[in-house]
Amino acid sequence: MGNMIPVDPDKVVVPKLADLLNRDGYLKDHEREIKRRYGCFQAVLKQIDTDEGGLEKFSRGYEKFGLHVNPDNSITCLEWAPLAQGLFLKGDFNEWNKLSHPFKKLDFGKWEINIPAAPDGSCPIKHMSRVKIGLLTPKDVMEDRLCPWATHVVQPPKHEGTAYQHHFWNPPSEERYTFKHPRPCKPKSLKVYECHVGIASEEPRVGTYKEFTTNVLPRIVKLGYNAIQIMAIMEHAYYASFGYQITSFFAASSRYGTPEELRELVDTAHSLGLFVMLDVVHSHASKNVMDGINEFDGSDSCYFHGGSRGTHSLWDSRLFDYSSREVMRFLLSNLRWYLEGYKFDGFRFDGVTSMLYHSHGIGEGFSGSYADYFGLNVDTEALVYLMLANHMLHQLHPDAITIAEDVSGMPALCCPVEEGGAGFDYRLGMAIPDMWIKLLKEKSDDDWDMGNICHILENRRYQEKTISYAESHDQALVGDKTIAFWLMDKEMYTNMSKMSGPSLVIDRGMALHKMIRLLTHGLGGEGYLNFMGNEFGHPEWLDFPRAGNKESYHYARRQWSVVDNEILKYQYLNKFDAAMNKTEGAYDWLSADPGYTSTTHQGDKIIVFERANCVFIFNFHPSKSYSDYKVGVGASGQYKIALDTDDEEFGGHRLVDHSTQFFTSNESFNNRPHSLMVYIPSRVALVLAKCA
């Protein structure tokens, strides 16, 4: 495919560009650039149609590349290694003979080998037997490589060394998992539980797919989440990378179990009504040569840019060459492999900011000037790849959801491709957790700025959906602190028992933990995300086994026992999280229009906003309670308490009488046509719902 095809923007027609420009008038100054980008996308799509028989066929690379068993039980293996001088297949099947099974060189840097069936008609390479590719490099050196398309890669026993082994996955039909349940419909209000299979066990070891299926999925459903986002599935040799240094893209990590057990996990989640998303890393890859795809053909390029452009200076990893047809085939096929082979319903794309800009966002302020998003710093090749990926996924599976991890706020990133956007459904509201941690770390309660808090929560692009979150896995990692830790770490190990005496630290921490989550949930976006364990204020941080902690698993686990223990207060936070999601399910505020904020009173420390026929009232004042506090509302009528953070069920004091009915008066207040009076205690939030 080479470098991006030159495009004349004046000849490009973007089908629904008018919708985009009408929605955001500031984009009119950049209409030609939007057309140019869409033209580049069209040009690549046309090339794929002409040369590859269309995107549908092109994205099935996994059906031809790598090792495959033919109907007659012979084996075919196709690889792309443009600068290799020779490829050889070796393994248990040929007693690791380095030269007995050479590949034949084809056009366009491809290599192929065909191995006939065994004399008895069986497959010559047995299920779970080890295979590797011998590479004769451009420097005439023989080296070993793992197949980039390998579907099962295993860490060897210690006595066999450290190099990962490709175990050919070809189980008999009776051992293959058969999907039994249909995919759930796309959630109207997306509530995401971000999770990691390996740390989901309480025991100090790596958890398994089967344990997660049995033990954790029911917890997620009980909490009221309707989607899971699974991290660290694509195989990564370094466990402590949290799955962000991928070595084998098509291999579901074997440290948790087998491919069939992952399929069972996904299918079981579907049976429980859970939408299942994969955390996908197409922004970079591990530099690991022995276990990964780096230097697969013996050069510093192949799947990546050569030279300095091919290395991320902060992540110390390799950067894909998105202009290469074979790289596009590899990555698009990778998405399709998980969409169809494992029945994932969507993807959260990691590191999108790094992909979008030649600077990878390093040192960029992203002040909000549109020049930041339409200048020469934007990597058109990477942007076109993302457009192709979203276009393909939504064509193949219209209910698929894609989420962009982008901190830059690029306009139209979450608009349809036919409007000139990148095609994502949601972006992560990454400024929100940063705000909460900064407040807890640097400001006293008296100094919290109500107006600024609401501005950060509401500051998102019009009609581009955002997933809000108070904290994710990033804040749980060692070196940082979760919100619960920032609030209560001084007494979490001594005063979280119901039998403990009164504690101002714990009372404040419990109250603010609930209020922060509710405010983020209600005002911050069109979806909500929580990381596994944070909902109940997990008492310790997350740290993977590594040399620095003597390979300990003590912090690489989730302590479910503390939330299950009826004598501890963690259960209160857990119950509130479930009630918050249940209340949203009743009123659908996430799928409603953005909230209207009528009050941000700095002196009173009061925030009031309306969304989906609900009125949210927050009193962040550390000591003042207010009786008969006047609140402006848009709709007249009768209101009732739908959620109270101070409920006894959530560890509160139930200072507000839940039998109270609130009636509006026709007296306007704070630019709202009606008003009502409420009692709002210190560090309490209420959700009032309009009665039918």
Rg of the chain over all Cα atoms, to the nearest angstrom: 27
DSSP state of 309: G
- The dihedral built from the CA positions of residue 543, 545, 548 and 550, taken in this order, carries a sign that is positive
Q: How far apart are CA 135 and CA 585, in angstroms?
A: 56
The answer to whether the beta carbons of residues 619 and 683 sit under 8 Å apart is yes
Bridge partner list, 609: 597, 616
The structure tokens listed for 425 are 């459904």
Q: How far apart are CA 525 and CA 528, in angstroms?
A: 7
Catalytic entry in 211, 321, 350, 646: 350
Q: How far apart are CA 270 and CA 218, in angstroms?
A: 12
Q: How far apart are CA 688 and CA 617, in angstroms?
A: 8
Q: How far apart are CA 485 and CA 571, in angstroms?
A: 16
Catalytic entry in 211, 291, 405, 535: 405
> 372 vs 22, 364, 516, 638, CA distance in Å?
21, 9, 32, 48
Q: Which of 677, 678, 627, 681 is nearest to 515 (CA)?
A: 681
| Residue 609: how many other CB atoms lie within 10 Å | 22
Q: How far apart are CA 268 and CA 668, in angstroms?
A: 52
Q: How far apart are CA 92 and CA 22, in angstroms?
A: 63
The structure tokens listed for 456 are 């950060």
Active site residue 405: yes
At residue 477, what are phi and psi to the nearest 5 degrees?
A: -70, 150
Q: How far apart are CA 135 and CA 604, in angstroms?
A: 70
The structure tokens listed for 594 are 């953005």
- Of the chain, the end-to-end C-alpha distance in Å amounts to 60
| Residue 174: how many other CB atoms lie within 10 Å | 6
Q: Which of 228, 225, 232, 177 is nearest to 206 (CA)?
A: 232
| Residue 562: how many other CB atoms lie within 10 Å | 22
Strands (E), 158-294: 165-167, 190-196, 227-231, 234-235, 248-252, 275-280
Q: Which of 689, 687, 605 is nearest to 644 (CA)?
A: 687
Where residue 651 falls (left for φ over 0; alpha for ψ -120 to 50; beta otherwise) is: left
Q: How far apart are CA 285 and CA 299, in angstroms?
A: 16
What is the amino acid identity at position 20?
A: L
The answer to whether the beta carbons of residues 321 and 305 sit under 8 Å apart is yes
Q: How far apart are CA 594 and CA 534, in angstroms?
A: 25
Put the strands of the sheet holding 110-115 in their side by side order.
Answer: 66-69, 75-80, 110-115, 104-105
Q: Which of 381, 331, 329, 390 is nearest to 358 (CA)?
A: 381
At residue 240, what are phi and psi to the nearest 5 degrees?
A: -70, -5
Where in the sequence numbering do the catalytic residues fall? Answer: 350, 405
